[in-house]
Amino acid sequence: MEPLKLYMLLLGCTTPGRHTEQHDVFFGIAHKLSDLVPAMKAFWPEAGDKLHIDAWREVTSVGNYHITVVPREEVVDNPEQLYFLNLGGYKPGEMEEYHYKMLSVSKDIGAAIREAKETAFYKHTGFSSDASPAATSHVDDKYGVDVDDIIPVKDILPEPVRTLYQLKVTQVAEPVPEDELHLGYFQLHKI
């Protein structure tokens, strides 16, 4: 049997009453991707049979850290946490809010936000003009940057998973290769 893995998925669907495809990020723990189908459907029941995956990855490494799934009862001392950040930004003349989804292993939210401010997305997706004075890359005094979302991944795993498992974050000396990103239109019944 394959080991348990943490998965990050970009789910998509056009729900009844909407004019454009909607998206949300789902995190789950399973032996293989197809094992997550019931949890994905429970996560977004309004999507019905239109629910699909637009992107996914196994989360095994972030920067200089390995991410592993361990039983809840195992003693884990994680001085750092795995955070999910969803940044928002704008481009002149385009009627769209662009998003950049990233993972960060950091000691706290402030450190994760400082890392986000160093991304090319944050530096280049925003502007200011007389007509659009608030089109900057989401700056907010409360956190120093108003990311659309910043959440510890452990807190957004489905409830049944959180009672059984936890994430172990282990620092390594050398940067590890990024996890493969799978992009496309993946129908749930074909994964």
pTM: 0.88
Higher pLDDT, 119 or 124: 119
Residue 45, pLDDT above cutoff 50: yes
Q: Give me Rg for the CA atoms of the chain.
A: 18
Please name the residues in contact with 101: beta carbons below 8 A apart, sequence gap of 6 or more.
Answer: 10, 25, 84, 85, 86, 87
Cα end-to-end distance, the chain, whole Å: 18
pLDDT range class, residue 139, cuts 50, 70, 90:
very low
Residue 148 pLDDT > 80, yes or no? no
Among 12-21, 36-45, 47-56, 156-165, where is mean pLDDT lowest?
12-21
pLDDT score recorded for residue 131: 65
Strands ordered across the beta sheet of 22-30: 22-30, 5-13, 52-58, 182-187
Most confident of 5-14, 81-90, 132-141: 5-14
Task: Tell me which of 89 and 41 has the higher pLDDT.
Answer: 41
Instruction: Return the DSSP state at 118.
Output: T
- Single-letter amino acid code for the residue at 14: T
Q: Which of 28-37, 120-129, 139-148 has the lowest mean pLDDT?
A: 139-148
Average pLDDT across the chain, whole number: 88
What residue ranges define each of the domains in the chain, with the CATH number in brackets? Answer: 1-60+176-190 (3.10.20.10), 76-158 (no CATH)
What average pLDDT score do residues 168-189 get?
A: 93
Question: Is pLDDT above 80 for 86?
Answer: yes
